[in-house]
């Protein structure tokens, strides 16, 4: 909601820039999407490695009854 209000203020003060932002936002989002997917994948791999490395300690510690 705040982003929309800021866009309306930009539309009032400088409508060509607001329209340019409206057109370019989806294009920039599509260009940045692969980097976001790579970030999610790298995070998942590191979490998996951490879980695999911590597994022996969890098994040896056991669960309290």
Q: Give yes or no for a contact between 7 and 21, defined as CB atoms under 8 angstroms apart.
A: yes
Q: What is the pTM of this model?
A: 0.62
Taking Cα atoms as reference points, which of 41, 63, 59 lies closest to residue 51? 59
| Phi, psi values for residue 63, rounded to 5° | -105, 135
pLDDT tens track of the chain, all 65 residues? 999 999 999 999 999 999 999 999 999 999 999 999 999 999 999 999 999 999 888 888 877 65
Q: Give yes or no for a contact between 10 and 21, defined as CB atoms under 8 angstroms apart.
A: yes
Counting Cα atoms < 13 Å in the Cβ hemisphere of 26 gives: 3
DSSP 65: -
């Amino acid at each position: 909601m705040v982003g929309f209000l800021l866009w309306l203020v930009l539309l009032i003060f400088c409508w060509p820039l607001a329209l340019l932002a409206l057109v370019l936002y989806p294009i920039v989002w599509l260009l940045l999407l692969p980097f976001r997917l790579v970030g999610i994948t790298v995070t998942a791999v590191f979490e998996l490695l951490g879980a695999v490395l911590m597994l022996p300690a969890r098994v040896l510690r056991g669960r309290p009854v």
